[in-house]
Structure 1
Amino acid sequence: MQSVAAAVTMVRDDAFFLKAWVGYYGRLLGRENCYVVNHGRGEEMTRLAEGCNIIGIPGDPHANFDMKRWRLLNNLVAGLRSYYNHVIVGDVDELVALDPAEGVSLLDWLADKPLRRVLTPLGLEVIHRIDLEAEALGDTILGPRRHLRLAPHYSKPCVVSLGTKIARGGHFTQASKLFTPDPLYLFHLKYCDFATYTETMNRRNQVTEEVGVGVKEAAIGRHWFAEARGEDRAVFEAFAGLEMQEGFDLDWVRKRMQRSWKPRGDTGFWQFDRPDYDLQYRLPERFFGLF
């Protein structure tokens, strides 16, 4: 039984993403080291997470959903740190991955890393180029989907071996030192499949309708609201307009993160600049089949 790393997430009715999350972290860490908060105690979520540690909680709609969610996740991470060297925490559509060029698994790589740190992987969004990728997704995402959008917003401080507080949304912590290991990435899967995106957004729009308040009154991500959604096909067609980059050298992004590192006002949290880059990359083949 390993105590190097655990993974924690919360899910509500997102079967596609939970299947990918459990499949990936279950193989890497062992399902007994995966912790799934089942918001609403969905039966399908329970089935998909079989073998993981499942924490069922009530699923009543609430205007402060994100605030409550991250309060729970913060406390779970703090508790699990007493038993694991590292705790990976994040949304169910986010997967932390090590560049296969390292030649070791993420678990073995973490076993060799110093403690009392928060690691911030570089954020990349897996995008479905509907003009180029007609193949429907099966059990594998990377390979059938091989285009990435640079996404600093998803460079999250999510591999924790230090006692710290994580901000709502998981974008900031109170750790004052920034560690951005070269081979570590966070893949955000929200846009990895057009059909899945539409189904997911329909469900999330329904949740915010049930809450009954607007974007400004709710502690829920703006992207859950119908008014912020836009037209789905136009969102995906726009990916073709992102400037294609040659190669896969992203050191320049990590250097900018380090140079812009500073306190986030007087909140106690720390941040780096997160500009929008209209850039895309082709995923190197060594990543294909990783999840």
Structure 2
Amino acid sequence: MRPVLFAIPVVLLLAAVSVFTGVGSLAASDDGRGWLLVVESRLPRTLALMLAGAGLAVSGTIMQMLARNSFVEPSTAGTAESAALGMLLAMLIAPGLPVAGKMAFATLTALAGTALFLQILRRVPLRSALMVPLIGLMLGGVVNAVTTFIAYRYDLMQSMGAWMSGDFSVVLRGRYELLWIGFALTLVAYATAARFTVIGMGEAIARNVGLDYDKVVILGLAIVSMVTATVVATVGMIPFLGLVVPNIVSLTLGDNLRRTLPVVAISGAGLVLACDIVGRMVIAPYEVPVGTVMGVIGSLVFLYLLLSRRSHAG
């Protein structure tokens, strides 16, 4: 409980900084423009950052339990690329669909892509833990290549770029509310945290203690796919977030998800808030997308984890 009590004030402070950071002035005026800016843009953006960060961090934790590998998360398992493919197919098949309908397409393709990734892991001899993210990155590359070809063929490259950029600059009230679905799924993940902890110990142990292994795996895939789809459909993908946060929390608190999931969710929200603040301040009044900032940080942490695992193996 102590880590949660420490993390909450930090996240609230970052949220306050996020609300008051930006080009527009919040100074009081007779026409109420400052208050309108807060209600219509700054507050929705801050909430979107927190919801996306918490959802992706928890999704990364669940994926690591399902794959039993600490290097797996939506952007290293082909899940994000599969969700982008679903968004593209929705635009081609039913261009008049609302965002929720496109998210449903993205959920189905993300679910299929993640399930395919897990099936490949079952059939490939994994002599090293480093093979798992390598397989995921290769699968994501194939899916991304197919998506790029289709997008280029139908002149939708700009839309595809938006789905993968992780840009919160366009978030306004009425355009982020789908992310609350991710928050609801985070609560579901916490309610079933003990089952995912057992799943992380292996299929044999899970079945020996009487756990319905297949149902828990399907639940985990559904949570990961829906959260990833909502984030991709709303603001675009944020790479490596689901890898960095769970690994740092696991190193300090262990792998009991009932204990660590609240810390993972709060830390994910805080990290995305911090990346957004940095992105808005580095080249102000312009912005660097959150996905770009997180990509730099996450790739460095990813390399550190890979090198440290290699040194321990040696």
Structure 2 length-normalised TM: 0.29
Structure 1 length-normalised TM: 0.31
Higher helix share: 2
Q: Which has the larger radius of gyration?
A: 2
Higher strand share: 1
| Greater relative CO, 1 or 2 (CA 8 Å, sep 6+) | 2
